[in-house]
Chains A and B, each alone.
Chain A
């Protein structure tokens, strides 16, 4: 395995984030803090507890998920799309790197960035709400796998996109609505019966529910369902990437 090659991609991507620290770190953290202030402190103080958890604390897992999912997708998609855009993918393709190694480099960096942002937001949330994490180990694992899976998804988006508009279509028009409607700010049982069934078609519901379970021991769906769903989602992303590299789709001429 070309470990130095993987490390080169990883390091290069991480350095790019450090060069644009305000965009990469400050911006997503600030946005989430604003959510805490508005929904947690201002509106949340007038709302009833949900499953014996204050509303301010209840939205923490959802807000973390909202941010890390978007960040994972954006970082990974931009990470691979930018070399495509400026034409430097020739370097990757002509280097002694396997496709798996290229994916590890880019997805690893995007995962690290999103995971770090998730942890920073979690730490920041303690400034605004009282929070106890019931299953911290599970929470860390779930956060990490979510970051990795959405980074894989972002990588796919970056590969298949032909321009910046396409690069933003999936995150803006598909992922953002699904995350907002996936129970970040409410539980599914707060919805009317019809919409509850409809909401269960949203894959993000299972991820937010699983992550929230790790905080409070309760979720919209059983934790096993969330875990199975997460594994299916990860497998689908890996399979698509495997297909892309096997066929050279949008990578090789």
Chain B
């Protein structure tokens, strides 16, 4: 996949000397969905703002499709659509007028066919003549997306697109995002919902205190970082871990009625076979076995804490 955004050594310092982004570098590939995870104030929105032109850059560079976002701002902004975190809409305007306004700002001719298709895709067609004030929160969120897509951008920034929306709408949004990806749109989304990143992202970036802690392909990250737990229920209570089993990462739980074995699925050998064999050899009989897997959320918490 070719690179569409290249952020190099970006620093964003505010007038009050607070550094929101610290020497951050990030490459985003064309056509991917990348989710930026991080706690409040981590620098996610600031990063998006600098790429989209809402915030000035203290130092470093940002290139979109090989073009500098400052020197070639017209060309780079033309490629980008932005859905900000807040529901920022002119309350007294009709949906259709608001969307057409956004398209015109980008210097594009009116295209009723495209806008009507877009409205249909976002289930807004029958609301097109409604006043924005009269719409529900979920519909307003859709209008924001329609406005961002009105000029047919290749890159879409979604800053917490599902914050405060119900589960059903969130799933609708995920479908919309997946559909856009299938159409070739590169999507960068920030989110607090780990589940969201897990469901739709190709790559995950974790930001904290203005620094990019990691950026990695989602499945690879889960594979590499996730720890599985083999819970072994014992027939007889075990007070301490026998010498032969000390080489394994074991923990006695439930007052000795169970053992937890921690292993990494990223490793070539899990050690389960030899553990069970050693247990059998020293006469520890098993009653039941089950496994648990750490989620992306556990991984996220671990990385942030580290």
Using a CB–CB cutoff of 8 Å, the interface residues on chain A facing chain B are: 2-5, 7-9, 11-12, 15, 19, 83, 86-88, 90-97, 248, 252-253
Contact = CB atoms under 8 A, between A and B. Distances in A.
Contacts of A15: 97
B90 A94 contact: no
B105 A87 contact: no
B73 interface: yes
B229 to A, nearest CB: 44
B104 A8 contact: yes
Given A5-B107, A8-B104, A94-B54, A253 B49 contact: yes
Most buried by A among B75, B84, B107, B108: B107
A9 B105 contact: yes
A91 B89 CA distance: 10
26 contacts: A2-B107, A4-B104, A5-B104, A5-B105, A8-B101, A8-B104, A86-B88, A86-B90, A86-B91, A88-B90, A90-B52, A90-B54, A90-B88, A91-B102, A91-B105, A94-B53, A94-B82, A95-B105, A96-B106, A96-B107, A97-B105, A248-B56, A252-B54, A252-B56, A253-B55, A253-B56
Given A4-B104, A5-B104, 13 more contacts: A4-B108, A19-B92, A86-B88, A87-B86, A88-B88, A90-B52, A91-B102, A93-B52, A93-B53, A94-B82, A95-B106, A96-B106, A253-B54
B101 A12 contact: yes
Nearest to B49: A253
Interface in B72-107: 73-75, 77-78, 80, 82, 84, 86, 88-92, 97, 101-102, 104-107
Contact of B78 (A7, A88, A96): A96
B71 to A, nearest CB: 13
B86 A8 contact: no
A92 B84 CA distance: 13
A94 B77 contact: yes
Interface in B220-243: none
B14 interface: yes
A90 B84 contact: yes
B89 A86 contact: yes
B135 to A, nearest CB: 15
Contacts of B302: none
Contacts of A11: 104
A90 B53 CA distance: 9
Contacts of B97: 15
Interface in B103-124: 104-109
A15 B94 CA distance: 12
A17 B106 CA distance: 23
B181 interface: no
A11 B89 CA distance: 17
Interface string B151-185: 00000000000000000000000000000000000
A97 B102 CA distance: 12
Nearest to A83: B90
A11 B52 CA distance: 25
Contacts of A95: 77, 102, 105-106
A5 B89 CA distance: 18
Contacts of A88: 88-90
A92 B104 CA distance: 11
B95 to A, nearest CB: 14
Contacts of A252: 54-56
B129 to A, nearest CB: 15
B54 A87 contact: no
